Amino acid sequence: MKILLTNEAGCFHPGIVALAKELCKDHRVCIVAPLNRQVGSGHSLTVDQRPLHAQQWYVLDNVKIWSVDGTPCDCVALALDKLLLDKPDLIIAGIDPVNNRGNMVYTSGVVSAAMEGTIQGIKSMALSAAIPNEKKERAYRPVVKFVSRKLEYLAKQIPDYGMLNVNFPEKFKPKNIMPAALTDGLLDNEYEIEVNPFGSTFAWLKSPLMEFGLEAYEQKGDLYWLKQGYITLTPFKLDLLKGEALTALQKAGIKL
């Protein structure tokens, strides 16, 4: 199988390197990923006049690595249009060392990169895991071993015109897999504000609140099952349309 890997943490991040080393044993693997961290970039593409700089690196045997000074979605789009000789059979975005669950998926560069692959007509999935020590490649070994063994199974779960979001808890058993809906809940985005001596105001976004209220756990969505030690599978579709909302609007008519 021809596999394109990308992420939001950078092309030399231990998560993507560990995944590439494992998958290249049985598949043709290429990495096209951001040169620098692009956490929280969402579905952003570089469309202004700034050129993207792509550079090939020769640091892994049997794995081509391209760095792109853009977003994860830039990486996928550029790879499919110019950098790859052949279109991949599968795109895997990750491994993100923080779980992308609930409303966090809307700002995740990893989830958006997989969705960009879906838009381009390639089967795609996003991988994230609760990794305590994200800078250690060995910390990703349980996840990459599971993905390597179950790759065919996971690929079959990708819906037509959609993608698959896969989350791993910190400790999991390979047989504990649960299809799960997104947990509905708001994240608290907290900013640090400072004013410099010249009167200009600066703001830094702190890490969003990662926990939800008790009502979120009662939904028994992805957050609940991750807390129970399950690997969660959440399929996404390209069509964001809510059919019942459109029907209600059509019945009501447009009255300005």
Q: How many CA atoms lie within 13 A of 241 on its CB side?
A: 7
Q: How far is CA 6 from CA 11, 22, 49, 72, 124, in A?
A: 7, 15, 24, 7, 11
What tens digit of pLDDT does each residue of 209-221 get? 555 666 777 788 9
d(Cα 101, Cα 175) in Å, to the nearest integer?
A: 20
- pLDDT < 50 regions, the chain: none
d(Cα 147, Cα 127) in Å, to the nearest integer?
A: 9
Which residues are CB-contacts of 20 (< 8 A; sequence separation ≥ 6)?
5, 29, 31, 60, 63
Strand 177-179 to 191-195 pairing: unpaired
Q: What is the pLDDT of residue 208?
A: 61
d(Cα 212, Cα 184) in Å, to the nearest integer?
A: 9
Measuring CA to CA, which residue among 176, 148, 179 is closest to residue 165? 179
- And the tokens for 124? 């795609």
Q: What is the pLDDT of residue 256?
A: 65
Q: What is the pLDDT of residue 212?
A: 63
Q: Which CATH class is domain 2-182+213-252?
A: alpha beta
